[in-house]
Amino acid sequence: MFGIVEKLKFFKRNYIVWYSLLLIVVVVGVILFGNYYSLSKFEYNTDRLLQSKAILAEDIFNVLVSDNDFSDQSSLNGKISEILKNDSEIKKIEILLSNNNKDGYKIVASSDKHNVGKEMDNDLLRMAFGNDVGIAFLNNDSNGKRYWEVVKVIKNNGKRIGLISFQMSLEEHDNFIKKSTREVYIVLAILMFLVLLIIANHVRFFKYALKATKLEEVDKMKDDFISMASHELKSPLTAIRGYIEILKDSLTTKGKNIKNDNVQVLENMESSASRLEELVSDLLDVSRLQQNRMPINLSKVDLDNVIEGIIKELMISAKNKGLDLIYVKPKNIVEVLADAGRVKQILINLLSNAIKYTPKGKVEITLREDAKNIFVTVADTGLGISAKNLKKLFSKFYRVKTDKTVNISGTGLGLWISREIARKMKGDLTVESIEGVGSHFTLKLKKYKK
């Protein structure tokens, strides 16, 4: 009972399910109506066709009997037998002659020998006698089988002398209609079964859709929480770093005897605070990017000046590791359409990574261009990345984990953030790498057109 109530609540909350069910019912109804209408029209048209066929056949009979001596009953009966033999649809034939100067008609030949000699008179016969086209109407026999009753006048030298009447059976036609109808309903039954399966799948699908909606809501709540938490954490982190600086200054004041252990503790605290601040900053950028709230202001940017400034900032880090930090300056002024702050953020991330993951050798920055783009490549002679890890390199929180990288700090967000920012500036960020040889990260930016 509880399961049924829950399902009813599910349908009540999700009106789109009702819409889908209604749509399925309408589709099935249209198919049913279409088949019914088609069969009805088919039956109507075939009835009309058989009516025309009956009148046409009667015309043939009229030709056959027009030159006969109607007093020769054996000849007429022979003709009737021959016609019945050649056409299985014709069940009964009678030839009636008008009683001279009397009302009524006398049967002079018939497929039923017991009727020969009988006299008949009714409105139908009189109507047919005065009609050159002939009369055809539907009728049923005692077993409920349908047939066309056709009556037409017989003329001899332009004079009306009698009538020819015959019955054309619709049994074969009706059997065909019944068979077609039965086949159609079998197909429809199969269709209904398939529709029920579709409905069952739709119910499951909407459950999945509901779960997906809830997951989206949870994901949004998570993004909102990360954004809020990141903002809230930045202030105390700034304060902590400030207190660390004050403490360092007070301990290094002239005349103070500072133990090396104390200095190391402060340095560890500062390093931890820096890493935490980096994580908070990255989380804040992720939240902004996912919610499309990161400001990107595209304008003319002198790429050479931006790179020169970054080189000055990171030169000490490179020298401390014994690395050569090389910038191959372009011959011409290089201007791109981008956000200067975001370009600097991307290149600092790429160069910092290159320095961190390069034990020895060099880190080199080169530029090249094509008709529309400028390509900034940061190449290193570092650890390199395997083909397996390259596939996941730009995923959020993904870091290459090997024995050589285990002690290298990082959030696993920098490359994802950098590529997303590049794409928002209508550029891209790609990588080529060989494990043990080094990596080439290439930032593509649009040229500035004057």
* Residue 8 placed within a domain: no
* Residue 280 placed within a domain: yes
* Residue 390 placed within a domain: yes
For residue 204, the tally of other CB atoms under 10 A from its CB is: 10
- Residue 161's φ and ψ, nearest 5 degrees, are -115, -15
For residue range 396-419, what is the model confidence (pLDDT) as tens digits?
877 777 767 766 767 778 899 999
Average pLDDT over residues 107-128: 85
Same domain membership, residue 183 and residue 165: no
* Residue 4 placed within a domain: no
Total of domains in the chain? 3
Alpha helices in 252-302 (DSSP H): 260-290
CB 378 within 8 A of CB 347: yes
Q: What is the DSSP string of 1-25?
A: -HHHHHHHHHHHH-HHHHHHHHHHH
Q: Degrees (nearest 5) of the Cα angle 177, 179, 181?
A: 65
* Residue 7 placed within a domain: no
Same domain membership, residue 334 and residue 399: yes
* Residue 306 placed within a domain: yes
Same domain membership, residue 419 and residue 275: no
Q: pTM value?
A: 0.51
**Residues of the domain holding 268:** 177-289
Residue of higher predicted confidence among 390 and 193: 390
Same domain membership, residue 88 and residue 145: yes
Considering 169, 188, 204, which residue would you say is the last residue of a domain?
A: 169
Same domain membership, residue 192 and residue 157: no
Residue 230 is part of a domain; what is its CATH number? 1.10.287.130
Same domain membership, residue 145 and residue 273: no
Same domain membership, residue 427 and residue 301: yes
| CB neighbour burial string for 215-246, b if at least 16 within 10 angstroms, e if fewer | eeeeeeeebeebbeebeebeeebeebbeebee
The token pair at 343 is 């370009």
Considering 169, 190, 209, which residue would you say is the last residue of a domain?
A: 169
For residue range 25-65, what is the model confidence (pLDDT) as tens digits?
776 777 777 667 666 766 776 666 666 666 656 555 655 55
Same domain membership, residue 184 and residue 241: yes
For residue range 292-324, what is the model confidence (pLDDT) as tens digits?
878 899 999 999 999 999 999 999 999 999 999
For residue range 356-373, what is the model confidence (pLDDT) as tens digits?
899 999 999 999 998 899
Residue 358 is part of a domain; what is its CATH number? 3.30.565.10
Q: Could you tell me which of 118, 161, 167, 121 has the C-alpha nearest to residue 141?
A: 167
The token pair at 295 is 């400001």
Q: Could you tell me which of 380, 369, 393, 378 has the C-alpha nearest to residue 445?
A: 369
Same domain membership, residue 145 and residue 23: yes
Same domain membership, residue 45 and residue 72: yes
**Residue 364 and residue 378: Cα distance in Å, rounded?**
6
The pLDDT value given to residue 327: 93
The partner residues of 92 in beta bridges, in order of sequence, read 167
Same domain membership, residue 346 and residue 260: no
**Consecutive H or E run containing 129:** helix 123-129
Query: Dmax of the chain from CA atoms?
Result: 158
Burial class (CB in 10 A: 0-12, 13-18, 19+), 182: exposed
The partner residues of 256 in beta bridges, in order of sequence, read none
For residue range 142-169, what is the model confidence (pLDDT) as tens digits?
888 888 888 888 877 778 888 888 888 8
Residue 71 is part of a domain; what is its CATH number? 3.30.450.20
**Consecutive H or E run containing 55:** helix 15-66
**Residue 25 and residue 33: Cα distance in Å, rounded?**
12
Considering 246, 265, 289, which residue would you say is the last residue of a domain?
A: 289
Same domain membership, residue 392 and residue 420: yes
